[in-house]
């Protein structure tokens, strides 16, 4: 820790952009290392169950289940990291996809922190703020998750039914709250995002297509809008 402090101290004098370069280089290194480690560990679990403990269900079963599942999620493997990259940045992508729950936890944490600090998404400060927030969110999530899962079943059964009825509203409340954060700063963006989202959600498209379309259309409209504003102020 003390060593880190000194290093940071000497680095302050160097320009901000080289600091970001260095940050990205380190983020790629540690990000890849940790993601590969998690990847190898996760795949080692079924290998252990199949070949060390002798519960192998047969390759036919595994292959047919995997192909059926991949048919549903394979597109998402590629689409999700790509569409969230503009929001999460380099380091956010590594943490977000390892800790999971990108939409319901990482994005709200990043957005709220940017709001609290007053940093714009898509800037250096915005990216650092998002990384700090997502990292902290990931930690809190893991620290709470373990005991809550262990005692959770017991705890939940003790919570009276009439209070349990509000649990389904946690997610809509999160999304509504974060949307309002943006609407306060850029009301038009908020209206566009919600309107596009609403129209798309009335269509019977698959979930990931909805998200992709919504992002593309909203970006398109916002870019057109900004261009219009620029020409207006130029005149």
DSSP code per residue over 47-75: HIIIIISS----HHHHHHHHHHHHHHHHH
- Identify the helix (H) or strand (E) that includes residue 19: helix 16-47
Site for another protein in 206-225 (CB under 8 A): 207, 210-211, 214-215, 217-219, 221-223
Residues 27-46 that bind another protein (CB under 8 A): 27-28, 30-32, 34-39, 41-46
Dihedrals φ, ψ of 13, to 5°? -65, -30
Binding mask 135-174 for another protein (x = CB under 8 A): xxxxxxxxxxxx-xxx-xx--x-----xx-xxxxxxxxxx
Q: Compute the least distance from the CB of residue 212 to another protein, in Å.
A: 9
The distance of closest approach from Cβ of residue 67 to another protein in the complex, given in angstroms and rounded to an integer, is 9
Between 41 and 231, whose beta carbon lies closer to another protein? 41
User: Which H or E element spans position 95?
Assistant: helix 59-99
Burial of 92 (0-12, 13-18, 19+ CB in 10 A): buried
Query: 72 or 235, CB closer to another protein?
Result: 72
120 contacts another protein (rule: CB under 8 A): yes
CA–CA separation, 128 and 114 (whole Å): 9
The mark string for 69-88 relative to another protein (x by CB under 8 A, - otherwise) is xx-xxx-xxx-xxxxxxxx-
């Amino acid at each position: 820790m003390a060593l880190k402090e000194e290093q940071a101290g000497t680095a302050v004098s160097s320009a901000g952009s080289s600091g970001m370069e260095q940050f990205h280089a380190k983020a790629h290194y540690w990000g890849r290392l940790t993601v590969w480690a998690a990847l190898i560990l996760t795949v080692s679990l079924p290998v252990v169950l199949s070949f060390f403990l002798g519960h192998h269900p047969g390759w036919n079963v595994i292959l047919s289940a995997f192909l059926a599942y991949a048919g549903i999620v394979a597109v998402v493997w590629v689409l999700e990291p790509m569409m969230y990259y503009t929001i999460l940045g380099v380091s956010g992508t590594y943490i977000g996809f390892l800790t999971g729950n990108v939409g319901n936890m990482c994005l709200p944490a990043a957005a709220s922190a940017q709001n609290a600090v007053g940093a714009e998404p898509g800037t250096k400060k915005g990216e650092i703020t998002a990384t700090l927030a997502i990292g902290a969110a990931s930690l809190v999530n893991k620290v709470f998750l373990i005991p809550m899962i262990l005692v959770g079943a017991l705890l939940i059964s003790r919570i009276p039914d009439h209070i349990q009825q509000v649990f389904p509203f946690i997610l809509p409340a999160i999304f509504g709250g974060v949307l309002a954060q943006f609407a306060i700063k850029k009301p038009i963006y908020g209206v566009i995002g919600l309107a596009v989202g609403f129209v798309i959600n009335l269509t019977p498209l698959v979930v990931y297509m909805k998200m992709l379309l919504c992002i593309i259309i909203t970006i398109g409209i916002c870019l057109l809008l900004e261009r219009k504003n620029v020409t207006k102020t130029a005149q």
